[in-house]
Chains A and B, each alone.
Chain A
Amino acid sequence: MAEMVSMKSMRTPRDCFAKLAIYCAALLVCAAFAWILSDIARGGMAHLSLDFVIGSPRDAGRAGGIGSILVSTALVLAIALMAALPLGWTTAALLAEYVSAGSRFGGAVRYSLQVLAAVPSIVFGLFGNAFFSIYLGLGFSILSGGLTLACMLLPILVSTAESGLRAIPDAHRLSAAALGMSRTSTLFRLLLPIAAPSLAAGLLLGIGRAIAETAALLFTSGYVDRTPGSLLDSGRTLAVHIFDLSMNVPGGDAAAYASALVLIAALLLINMVAMRLATDWQRRKIMAENSNGYSNIDAPRA
């Protein structure tokens, strides 16, 4: 909008001061970002090597690598996604396609998801410990950590999938109905495939959130740094490993830097791919139905 309105700056002192202040603030934020990244990169590069990535931690993590930690992280993540994806996407499909805007059930589901998004991660940790670890008897394990994370991921998966489904033009639904498709097959064969990029973007954001999480995993998946033998074993994720090295292990800083670098690199990569998907999706939406392969639905028959 700002670009459309060409605002002539009248060069009053107050205008100049405001401009200066805003540029300074932006510069400050950039500088802080650069400071953090360069610190982590400089500290991490020195210790990072292939052996570090695939090796097992020795001497409480001071020496050795993070191989077993990466395995635990991947397992926790896999459990979380396997539990959260079906639940999240079906909930999104219901909210976007089946309930009316004023429906009480839809409103209640949406409200509780928004509450869930606001719950602090340490509270998820307490809940996971009380429910999964103790009440369900899973103990400190990959399984209880993953399930706790699944609860955390639900809101983000639902909201991205729901907005993706809502962005599909109604013409698709009407054409499908005119062709006599049932609502179920419309959903599975038409709407979900079209919304795939936004589902994928949400999935990546969820993965990012999950591998960044520490507080919720401290008392659910635990601290044990061996490669887990089963899903009921305790396993330490990368974020917990960084926490433990920097707080509880004197002399663990070098390894912590390198682990932080691995974590940040993974997160930046995931975020960038997610953003790329989201922008592609937006562009496709603007170009409308003609280019996305489903055009034959509303094209006139020759």
Chain B
Amino acid sequence: MIWSRHNILSPSVSVDTLTLWLLRGAAGAAMGVVLLILLFLAIESWPALRHISIERFLTDPSWNPGENLYNLAPMLSGTLYAAAGALLLATPLGIASALFIAYYASPHAASIYRRLVELLAGIPSVVYGFWGLTTLVPLINQLHPPGASLLAGILVLTLMILPTIALTAYAALLAVPGEYMLGATALGLSRWGTIRGVALPAAKTGIAAGVILAAGRAIGETMALLMVTGNVVQNASSLFEPIRTLAANIALEMPYAMNDHRAALFVSGLALMLLVMLLWSIAARLARNGNG
């Protein structure tokens, strides 16, 4: 036996305990990273939170850090509009993609299509942004100037979150028990009848969890939106108006922000993180209940 060459026949308890503590230390460090992130966001936001009351971030007349005006509301609305629009488009497309892979395509086509969706998920956000900037924005500009707009942001974001929705919905559909499908067939349901009456209801919590995860991604997305939405701080009243999102605002102003301005940016970062954590907790709860 190869195994006897190593000194492993005498299990030494001390080595095992040492390994265990080493592993525990590493895991603790991994856990510490999250706490460290929260801690540093809180420390850096503290000056702003101390000088500026919370409601001023929503009620100040404008976002003008040079004159001590910190209204985040237009950026918040921009973020939510872009995320909501993208979800509205990506959810039906993503679920349809999942249904295509699970029930409609031949096994060969399904595996090719799934791979394509996975590759779509791997394209960097800066490339999506660059493509949007050089292709979509000029197209939209012909339709309705200026081109760099909420609509461009929504379209690019749709492509970016579609894989998340499609892949989680597919996983949820795969988890539907086989007996359900057999039962539906035995009842003589048509393919669409089976999907609508059996598969989708059985998979709905998993699909909902995927949509919420995608919402989190949409809210936190920075580069692609920064490149295509025009970055004007305003409440958009139409799809063709430029907007600025919270994340884009951080990326744009961090390089020159000082003191309270910098702290206000950290406040918006903290808000983003808490928002995404909230969404993620809801998704995790849904997924757990779905499995249980």
Contacts and interface: CB of A to CB of B under 8 A. Distances in A.
Interface residues of B, number: 106
Contact of A36 (B105, B131, B276): B131
Given A1-B181, A271-B119, A90 B26 contact: yes
A63 interface: no
A267 B123 contact: yes
A182 interface: yes
A213 interface: yes
Interface in B19-48: 19-20, 22-24, 26-31, 33-37, 40-41, 43-44
Interface stretch (B70-78, B189-197, B234-242): B189-197
Contacts of A275: 115, 118
Contacts of A135: 40
A33 to B, nearest CB: 6
A120 B222 contact: yes
A7 B113 CA distance: 21
Interface of A: 1-12, 14-15, 18-19, 21-23, 25-26, 28-30, 32-33, 35-36, 39-40, 43, 86-88, 90-91, 93-95, 98, 105-106, 108-109, 112-116, 118-127, 129-131, 135, 151, 154, 158, 179-185, 187, 189, 208, 211-215, 218-219, 239-240, 242-243, 246-247, 253, 256-257, 260, 263-264, 267-268, 271, 275, 296
Nearest to B1: A296
A10 B2 CA distance: 62
Nearest to A14: B192
A129 B262 CA distance: 11
B31 A28 contact: no
B20 A98 contact: yes
A242 B130 contact: yes
Interface of B: 1-3, 6, 8-12, 15-16, 18-20, 22-24, 26-31, 33-37, 40-41, 43-44, 92-93, 96-97, 99-100, 102-105, 107, 113, 115-120, 122-131, 133-135, 159, 162, 166, 174, 176, 178, 181-182, 184-185, 188-196, 213, 216, 219-223, 226-227, 247, 250-251, 254-255, 265-266, 269, 272-273, 276-277, 279-280, 284
A25 B8 contact: no
Contacts of A106: 27
Given A6-B185, A91-B30, A120-B221, A25 B131 contact: no
A218 B254 contact: yes
B15 A4 contact: no
Given A25-B97, A126-B250, A87 B190 contact: no
Given A93-B23, A268-B119, A126 B41 contact: yes
B227 A243 contact: yes
B23 A91 contact: yes
Contact of A23 (B27, B100, B193): B100
Contacts of A268: 119, 122
A182 B192 contact: no
Nearest to A135: B40
- Specify the main secondary structure of chain B where it touches its partner: helix
A3 B115 CA distance: 19
Contacts of A21: 96
B29 A26 contact: no
Contact of A116 (B34, B123, B129, B255): B34
A12 B194 CA distance: 13
A95 B1 CA distance: 30
19 contacts: A8-B185, A8-B190, A9-B191, A21-B96, A25-B96, A30-B113, A36-B128, A94-B23, A119-B273, A122-B269, A130-B43, A151-B33, A182-B15, A183-B16, A184-B18, A212-B125, A242-B126, A246-B129, A264-B127
Contacts of A214: 124-126, 222-223
Most buried by B among A2, A23, A112: A2
B117 A121 contact: no
The list of the 8 closest CB pairs from A to B, nearest first, reads A120-B220, A212-B124, A25-B96, A182-B11, A94-B23, A90-B26, A10-B190, A118-B280
A214 B124 CA distance: 8
A28 B93 contact: yes
Contacts of A5: 178, 181-182, 184-185
Nearest to B280: A118
Given A25-B100, A94-B23, A180 B30 contact: no
Contacts of B103: 2, 7
Given A126-B266, A215-B125, 6 more contacts: A4-B181, A19-B192, A212-B125, A239-B223, A243-B130, A247-B133
Contacts of B128: 36
